[in-house]
């Protein structure tokens, strides 16, 4: 029997952002960020081996803060709204 503790975000241990400045992915505010800030974070996400898991988790849990899977909170809200509309 495996008695290792369950880690819900086990995939996050393989994230390309592990060694990045947390402020890059969790800025104090998304308003007024310089273009390079978003572009740099998105570039890291684009090369991330767990991007799909990250984005799926953030959308499905309603994660309201930070960049996950290359998306901002506003972008995830739009994804959820589109899914809800399609689900009827």
Using rule CB under 6 A, residue 79 touches ligand SF4: no
Cβ at position 13, least distance to ligand SF4 in Å: 9
Told to check if 51 binds ligand SF4 by CB under 6 A, we report: yes
Q: Which of 27, 69, 72, 76 binds ligand SF4 (CB under 6 A)?
A: 69
- Residues facing residue 68 across a β-bridge: 71
Contact status: 59 vs ligand SF4 (CB under 6 A) = no
- Footprint of ligand SF4 (CB under 6 A): 12, 15-17, 25, 44-45, 48, 50-51, 54, 67-70
């Amino acid at each position: 029997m495996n008695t290792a503790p369950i880690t819900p975000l086990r995939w996050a241990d393989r994230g390309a952002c592990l060694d990045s400045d947390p402020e890059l992915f969790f800025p104090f505010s998304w308003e007024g960020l310089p273009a390079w800030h978003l572009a740099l974070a998105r570039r890291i996400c684009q090369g991330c081996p767990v991007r799909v898991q990250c984005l799926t988790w953030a959308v499905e849990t309603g994660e309201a803060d930070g960049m996950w899977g290359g998306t901002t909170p506003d972008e995830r809200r739009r994804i959820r709204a589109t899914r809800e509309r399609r689900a009827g």
